[in-house]
């Protein structure tokens, strides 16, 4: 609640600086959950365990059993990655939008969901998306939305 009260409204005098800050935060691999993406991801898919944002030793919290089971017994099938591409319409990329690849036939195939997207410079969009793990390593171009217009390069996030 404290942070939501501190976020500048649309009357912010320097929206370009704010967008630049958000883009750099995105490039650093820091996720953000919006109302459209609530309950869409588990914390390991958002790499929160790599950011030190969760304790596996302390306390009780909603979903703790699932989170601990995934850490100690499961294999994660999805993870968050960085997407970078050319374009100027990051504000049109809604959190929760589907992420696709192009099949051999040229048809869209869903491989994940968009976490957040921001414009880094006038022509570069940086975004975070939770993708199927096998998709991360292929180096295939991904697309946000099924129109397959703007391609994004996928890179793994390093938190060291």
Pairwise CA distance, residues 56 & 64, whole Å: 8
Contact yes or no for 30/129 (Cβ under 8 A): no
Please tell me the CATH code under which domain 14-155 is placed. Answer: 2.40.30.160
Domain range list for the chain:
14-155
Q: What pLDDT, on the 0 to 100 scale, is given for residue 1?
A: 55
Could you give the CA distance from residue 130 to residue 152 in angstroms, rounded to a whole number?
14
How far is it, in rounded angstroms, from Cα 123 to Cα 125?
Answer: 7
User: For residue 128, what pLDDT is reported?
Assistant: 95
Rounded Cα distance, 89 and 68, in Å: 38
Tens of pLDDT, residue by residue, the chain (160 residues): 555 555 555 554 577 788 888 988 999 999 999 999 999 998 889 998 888 887 767 767 666 777 777 777 777 889 999 999 987 677 678 999 999 998 889 889 999 999 999 987 777 889 999 999 877 777 788 998 878 888 899 998 988 7
Cβ(121)–Cβ(110) below 8 Å: no
């Amino acid at each position: 609640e404290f942070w939501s009260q501190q976020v500048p409204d649309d009357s912010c005098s320097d929206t370009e600086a704010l967008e630049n800050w958000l883009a750099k935060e995105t490039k650093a691999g820091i996720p953000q959950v919006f109302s459209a993406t609530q309950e869409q991801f588990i914390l390991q898919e958002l790499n929160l365990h790599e950011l030190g944002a969760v304790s596996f030793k302390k306390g009780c919290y909603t979903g703790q059993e699932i989170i601990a089971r995934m850490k100690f017994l499961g294999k994660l099938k999805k993870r968050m990655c960085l997407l970078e591409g050319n374009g100027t319409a990051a504000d049109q990329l809604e959190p929760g939008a589907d992420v696709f690849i192009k099949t051999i036939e040229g048809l869209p195939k869903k491989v994940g969901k968009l976490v957040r997207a921001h414009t880094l410079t006038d022509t570069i969009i940086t975004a975070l998306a939770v993708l199927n793990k096998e998709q991360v390593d292929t180096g295939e171009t991904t697309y946000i939305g099924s129109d397959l217009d703007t391609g994004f390069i996928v890179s793994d996030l390093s938190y060291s």
